[in-house]
Chain A
Amino acid sequence: MSRPKKKPGARASGDAAEDRLRAVFERSALVVSLAARDVELPEVQAPSTERLEVTVPRTADLTEDDLARRLQALARGYAQVRECAAGEAVQLGDEVCLDVLGYADGRLIPFSARVQMWTDLTPSPMLPGFFEGLVGVMVGEGTRLQVTLPADYPLERLRGARTTFLVDVCAARQVELPDMQSAAFIEALGRGPTIGAVIESIADELEAELADELWVEAQNLVIDELLRRADAKVSEEAVDEEIRRRWKDGEGRWLVKKRFSSDELQEALAGWLADPLTRADASRRLQASLVLRAIAVREKLQLTPERLERIIQIAGKPFGFAASDLGAALKGNPALAEQVTAMAFHLMALGHVMEKAKVLFEGAPAR
């Protein structure tokens, strides 16, 4: 096949391709370099763990909505599902997989980037017109949506804001839920002979999950008390690095694939770095980890292989991983091994502190 003739003045197609490839690579390097920063961390004096007592506030009772939502989630496992074909228009009620970018006043809205987000295509009062605007968009296509955020939007500075979203419809499914009161569905669930028994089973399960959340809260309250006693401080640069690493592993990675330019990436990262709650959370994490480390050093805690395996076994179980997998999976991979071990160290130190702490749960009977 002969090579097409170029028109005078036309740019060589290979040059354009080369420029695009080189630009994408440079952006990738930028993202990698964004997290490659030196940061100074202080040595923290370990606080006392004597007379450590916390009271976990009572949580709210389960609601009818909680139970119905869980029932629906269970029913989803038995639904009739049809994958929509590329080029097929999505309809209300479909499940859609979206890539999303939000803009307001000429800037990327922080935390608005989503990649491969599955959601139901149903209207939401918090984003009026967003989901409705996707109806009719073909799978594999994108669209631009104008959304005026409501007056009661959770973020004050965006209330009433006129926003623009770029949305790619990456995939879609048509889902038909089973009759949740049918005998066949109830039998398939295996949670009892009647819908009433199913609901009781669901309530029991949700209560167990509430108990888990109470324990997470207990641990965080203990950490709060340790931080109060330690009065540790970390630099803003360290907080920046903590946020930067998380941004890179999540949103940053996605945005590179979206071919964001360096200034776009900087803008996206800046939104994270400037968010007060994100900074507070990052700062707290650094201090919590430093304080727990200091306690571990003072009390000569050792992360033995047996302890490590036990921690991994417990932490990995809900995700379906067994400790026996880890050794084989991480052999010869120092970076991942370091990360896993560091996390196990944190959990070991926290567990040691929790052994000493007195934890009371509001609403629990006196013992």
Chain B
Amino acid sequence: MTTRIMGGQTPRATTPATKPNEDKNVAEKVVHDVSDAINRAASGVTAELGSTVNDARSLASRALGLHSTAKGTVEQARKVRQDGFQAAFAQNKKDLFEYARQGTISPGALGAVKKGLAVAGLVTGAIDLPGRISTTAKDLRDAMRDGGTQAWNKVGGDVAGVGRSALYVAYGSLEVARDTQKLTAAYKAASSAFSAAAPEAMKSVVRSAATKAAVATIQGRSLADAAHYVTQAATTAAKETGSIAKAVTASANRAAARAALHTGGKAAAEAGLEAGARSATSSIARAAGRFAPGLNVAIAALDTASALSTLRDASASTGKKICSCMTAAGSTVSATNIPIASQLGAAVSIASGVVGGYFFPK
């Protein structure tokens, strides 16, 4: 028996769009269409995230690269209509307006305008300057994508250092029953290969949320702990203590002894949960510091990196932050992102029953 899991929710009722555009003036049409686009995007965001309509509109506006509020966007468009582009931006960006109007810009002014845009925070504004190098420059990206022959849909044993017999040479042939152990071995082998090639890049720096530095990292003060090098000063300081040898010798056995304290029975259940959650926080920096183009960073690391991003996002709701952290904790122990438990009608009910009552008390 199989059960279908629906991929999306029915969008909720949307905020009504602005009045139909009866005016041929382009700016009026922009006002109408922008508001309509925001409302449609907002409905999708609301459906997806379950956020309030106001939050959704704010998110949708930002996603569209517009002002943070729909009202701000409408106001900008109105100024465009009334006064032209020049009034929508600072007056000293004259050459920028010329480009906006005519598609040309004097080369001599390009550098000054670029700096001005950066200062004004319009780096990713609605108008892209010609020749500007940025990850948002689609023409540049298109130029780098032309003429390529590499098809990333090829599947092969690309993980360095792992024997062919231990790799998934074609995902169509994967059988979990046989290859589950290989998965662990493959990941470890890939990790080892990565470490061998760039040891400084792979080493975790901040692990435990118990440390002050780790807490600061999670709160966004610093991710330098994900550095790919250790300063000479730190190494010297550590060496001169005379405690290094004692500290590192047999540390693995001591760690194992600590872990073994909690084996057996109910203690094991909570010990595992606690360990997984703590490990999730510590892998945040590890994930953030690992920049290896082409190499899978592993789903658990992605979830913890996502948690970090959400925690640092001032606009994220408390509920979203908590949810991302729970996801990260579950991810370290192989949880799926698809809520199969409830959707397959098992022991959990959201809309009714004891759990529903927890979140939606009457």
Instruction: Contact check, A285 vs B176: say whether CB atoms are below 8 A apart.
Output: no
Q: Which residue of B lies closest to A21 (CB)?
A: B34
Overall SS of chain B's interface:
helix
Q: Which residues of B contact A33 (CB under 8 A)?
A: 8
Which residue of the partner chain, among A110, A288, A329, contacts B336 with CB atoms under 8 Å? Answer: A288
Q: Any chain A CB within 8 A of the CB of B163?
A: no
Provide 15 A-B residue pairs closer than 8 Å at the C-beta atoms, listed in order of the A residue: A13-B101, A38-B4, A59-B252, A107-B148, A167-B135, A219-B276, A264-B141, A276-B169, A279-B171, A279-B174, A286-B338, A305-B358, A319-B277, A321-B321, A335-B48
Q: Which residue of B lies closest to A194 (CB)?
A: B241
Shortest CB-to-CB span from A12 to chain B, Å, is 6
Interface residues in B175-209 by Cβ distance below 8 A to A read 175-177, 179-181, 183-184, 186-187, 190, 193-194, 196-201, 203, 205-209
Q: Any chain B CB within 8 A of the CB of A91?
A: no
- Tell me how many residues of B have a C-beta within 8 Å of chain A: 230
Shortest CB-to-CB span from A35 to chain B, Å, is 7
1/0 per position for B327-339, CB-CB distance to A under 8 A? 1111011111111
Instruction: Contact check, A203 vs B323: say whether CB atoms are below 8 A apart.
Output: no
Q: Which residue of A lies closest to B183 (CB)?
A: A280
Q: Any chain A CB within 8 A of the CB of B17?
A: no
Shortest CB-to-CB span from B360 to chain A, Å, is 7
Shortest CB-to-CB span from B237 to chain A, Å, is 4
Q: Which residue of A lies closest to B207 (CB)?
A: A209
Q: Which residues of A contact B210 (CB under 8 A)?
A: 205, 318
Interface residues in A9-40 by Cβ distance below 8 A to B read 10-18, 20-22, 24-25, 28-29, 32-33, 35-40
Overall SS of chain A's interface:
helix
Instruction: Contact check, A284 vs B256: say whether CB atoms are below 8 A apart.
Output: no
Q: Any chain A CB within 8 A of the CB of B314?
A: no
- Tell me how many residues of A have a C-beta within 8 Å of chain B: 236
Instruction: Contact check, B338 vs A245: say whether CB atoms are below 8 A apart.
Output: yes
Q: Any chain B CB within 8 A of the CB of A3?
A: yes
Q: Any chain A CB within 8 A of the CB of B13?
A: no
| Bound complex: CA A208 to CA B139 (Å) | 50
| Bound complex: CA A51 to CA B26 (Å) | 73
Q: Any chain A CB within 8 A of the CB of B54?
A: no
Which residue of the partner chain, among A13, A249, A273, A279, contacts B85 with CB atoms under 8 Å? Answer: A13
Given contacts A65-B235, A119-B227, A329-B322, 6 further A-B contacts (CB under 8 A): A39-B4, A119-B223, A231-B177, A321-B322, A347-B273, A361-B256
Q: Which residues of B contact A139 (CB under 8 A)?
A: 118
Q: Any chain B CB within 8 A of the CB of A155?
A: yes
Q: Which residues of A contact B183 (CB under 8 A)?
A: 277, 280-281, 284
Instruction: Contact check, B101 vs A10: say whether CB atoms are below 8 A apart.
Output: yes
Known: A118-B288, A211-B256, A318-B280. A3 touches B359 (CB 8 A): no
Interface residues in A190-215 by Cβ distance below 8 A to B read 194-196, 198-200, 202-203, 205-215
